[in-house]
DNA sequence: GACCACTCTCAAGTGCAGTTTAGGTTTCAT
DNA sequence: ATGAAACCTAAACTGCACTTGAGAGTGGTC
C-alpha cells in the first residue's frame, strides 16, 4: 500500500522500466505496440511512456500466450478494454471470464488426448481403424501454413 | 481383421495415398521426411513409397504437435522407434508413456493458470504485487525468439 | 502410344513472433 | 556542459513449419 502510494506519483513509465518489470524485452514491447496490443503516449522528445496498467496488459498477453493464443486473438480480447481510462475490475473480470472458457477448452482437449493416449497404451495400438487418437486426424487437415501449435478449433482462422 | 488382411497385400503406399489417408499435405510429408520424422523407399522411377506403419507415425506427430512439441523434439521421440521393422506394441507403449508425462505437465500448467485466473476473477485484480498470474511472468523472460507457444519448461532448449 | 494424373527436385515464399543492427536523438547525473 | 545510459526508427534477419511454383519425369489407362 505504502509502496503503491509512493509509486503512483510517477504515473507514466518509460519502456526500460516496463521491460525490466515485466521481463519482456523492449523490442518486444515496441512490437506489441505496433501490433496494437499495448499503447503509449510520447514525451516531448518522442520517447514512449506507458501507463502503469500496461503491466497488467502485458501480464495478460503473456498468460494468454501460454494458453496458446495467437497475438491477433489476444489483441481482439484486449480491444474490449478501454484505452482511455485505466481498466476497472469489471473490465478485467469480464475479459478473464471469456478467456477462461478458452482455457477450459484447451485443457479439455489435452485431457481428451491424454485419455486417448491412455487407452492406446492399454491396447498398444495407435491402430488403424479403431484408435481414437489416430482417427482424430481429420480435424487437422486443411489448416493454413505456419506454426499452428494448439491453434485448433478456432473459428475464423 | 478381414480388411487388414486384404490391404496388407499392397504393403507400400505412394505419397498421395498417405496424404489423403492422413490428411497431411504431400508437401508436408516430404518436409517431414527431410526432417527425418518419417522414411520411405523409392520405386525404380524414384517415387516415394511408404510403409503402412508410417500412418501411425504421422498420427503420432500430429498428436504430439497438439501437445505443443516442436518437430525436433518429436523427431527425438520417434528416433527411438525401429526404422527397419514395424513398431511393436511395446515400442509404441514405451514412446507413449514418456510422452504422456509431457502431456501431464502441460495440463498441470494450464490448470495452474486457470486456478490463478479464477482467483484473479475473484479479486478482479491481475494486480501488481499480489497476483500469482501476474507474478509468474519471471518465468517467461530470457527465452529465445520465435513462436514459443506452450514451449515452457523444456530442458535443453 | 498418347494422355493425364501423379510424382519428383530445388528454390523461393509465407506467417508468426519476435531480435538484431545501424545510425541517430534524448535524458540525466555530475 | 558533457558524457554515459537510455531511447528512437527503419530495415533486415531468425527459427519454425510449412506452401507454392517451375520445370521435368513416371505410370496406369484407353
The per-residue pLDDT for B85 is 64
| Mean pLDDT value of segment A75-100 | 76
Which own/partner pairs from A92-101 qualify as long-range (CB within 8 Å, at least 24 positions apart)?
Answer: A92/A56, A92/B120, A92/B124, A92/B125, A92/B126, A93/B121, A93/B124, A95/A60, A96/B117, A96/B120, A96/B121, A96/B126, A97/B121, A99/A64, A99/A67, A99/B117, A100/B114, A100/B117, A100/B118, A100/B121
**A153 is written with which cell numbers?**
478449433
pLDDT at A108 over 90: no
**pLDDT for residue B72 is more than 90:** yes
**Cα distance between residue B112 and residue A157, in whole Å:** 27
Q: How confident is the model at residue A145 (pLDDT cuts 50, 70, 90)?
A: very low
The pLDDT score that the predictor gives to residue B121 is: 60
pLDDT tens digits along B40-57: 999 999 999 999 989 989
pLDDT at B10: 57
Q: Are the beta carbons of A15 and A26 closer than 8 angstroms?
A: yes
Q: CB of A14 within 8 A of CB of A48? A: yes
pLDDT of A86 above 70: no
How far apart are the C-alpha atoms of A32 and A10, rounded to whole Å?
23
For the ranges A78-82, A106-110, A129-133, the lowest mean pLDDT is seen at: A129-133
Whether A64 contacts A56, CB under 8 Å:
no
**Chain A partners of B1 at a C-beta cutoff of 8 Å?**
none
- Which of these, A19, A76, A81, A23, lies nearest to A48 by C-alpha position? A19
A2-11, A57-66, A121-130, B144-153: the lowest-pLDDT one: B144-153
For Cα atoms B58, B20, A107, give the angle at the middle one, nearest 5 degrees: 50
- Which helix (H) or strand (E) is A57 found in, with range? helix A53-67
Nucleotide closest to residue A43 (CA–C1'): C26
Please choose, from the candidates A82, A75, A43, A80, the residue with its C-alpha nearest in 3D space to the C-alpha of residue A58: A75
Instruction: Quote the pLDDT of residue B122.
Output: 57
Work out the pLDDT band at A30, boundaries 50, 70, 90. very high
Mean predicted confidence (pLDDT) in B134-148: 39
Does residue B92 surpass a pLDDT of 80?
no
State how far the Cα of A110 lies from the Cα of B109, in Å rounded to an integer.
Answer: 11
Q: Decide which of A26 and A81 is more confident.
A: A26
Q: Quote the percentage of chain B above a pLDDT of 90.
A: 29
- Please state the separation of Cα B22 from the chain's center in Å: 14
Cβ atoms within 10 Å of B78's Cβ, excluding its own = 21
Higher pLDDT, A135 or B138: A135
Band (pLDDT 50/70/90 cuts) for residue B31 is very high
Total number of residues shown for chain B: 157
Name the one residue in this structure whose C-alpha cell is 495407435: A126
Q: How confident is the model over B66-73, as a mean pLDDT? A: 86
List chain B residues with CB under 8 Å of A121. 93, 96-97, 100
All residues at 6 or more sequence positions from A108 whose CB lies less than 8 Å from its CB, including other chains: none
Q: Determine the Cα–Cα distance for residues B53 and B39; give it in Å rounded to an integer.
A: 10
Higher local confidence (pLDDT), A139 or A122:
A122
In this prediction, residue A88 carries a pLDDT of: 73
* Confidence at residue A91, expressed as pLDDT on a 0 to 100 scale: 77
pLDDT tens for residues B107-133?
887 887 777 777 666 555 554 344 555
What pLDDT score does A38 carry? 96
- With bands split at pLDDT 50, 70 and 90, how would you rate the model's confidence at A6? very low
Is B155 near strand D, with its CB below 7 A from some atom of it? no
| pTM above threshold 0.75 | no
Footprint of strand C on the protein (CB under 7 A): A 25, 27-28, 30-32, 43-47, 65, 70-72, 144-147; B 14-17, 19, 26, 30, 40, 46-48, 145-149
CA distance B155 to B38: 25
Residues of A in contact with B111 (CB under 8 A): 107
If phi > 0 it is left, if psi is from -120 to 50 it is alpha, else beta; for residue A23 that is left
Q: Does at least one atom of strand D sit less than 7 Å from the CB of A26?
A: yes
Amino acid at each position: 500500500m505504502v509502496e503503491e502510494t509512493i509509486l503512483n506519483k510517477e504515473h507514466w513509465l518509460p519502456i526500460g522500466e516496463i521491460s525490466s518489470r515485466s521481463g519482456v524485452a523492449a523490442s518486444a514491447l515496441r512490437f506489441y505496440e505496433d501490433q496494437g496490443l499495448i499503447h503509449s503516449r510520447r514525451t516531448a522528445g518522442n520517447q514512449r511512456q506507458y501507463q502503469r496498467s500496461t503491466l497488467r496488459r502485458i501480464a495478460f498477453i503473456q498468460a494468454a500466450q501460454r494458453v496458446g493464443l495467437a497475438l491477433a486473438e489476444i489483441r481482439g480480447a484486449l480491444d474490449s478494454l478501454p484505452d482511455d481510462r485505466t481498466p476497472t475490475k469489471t473490465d478485467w473480470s469480464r475479459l478473464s471470464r471469456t478467456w477462461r472458457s478458452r482455457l477450459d477448452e484447451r485443457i479439455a482437449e489435452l485431457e481428451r488426448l491424454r485419455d486417448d493416449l491412455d487407452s492406446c497404451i492399454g491396447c498398444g495400438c495407435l491402430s488403424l481403424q479403431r484408435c481414437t487418437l489416430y482417427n482424430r486426424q481429420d480435424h487437422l487437415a486443411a489448416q493454413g501454413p505456419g506454426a499452428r501449435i494448439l491453434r485448433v478449433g478456432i473459428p475464423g482462422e
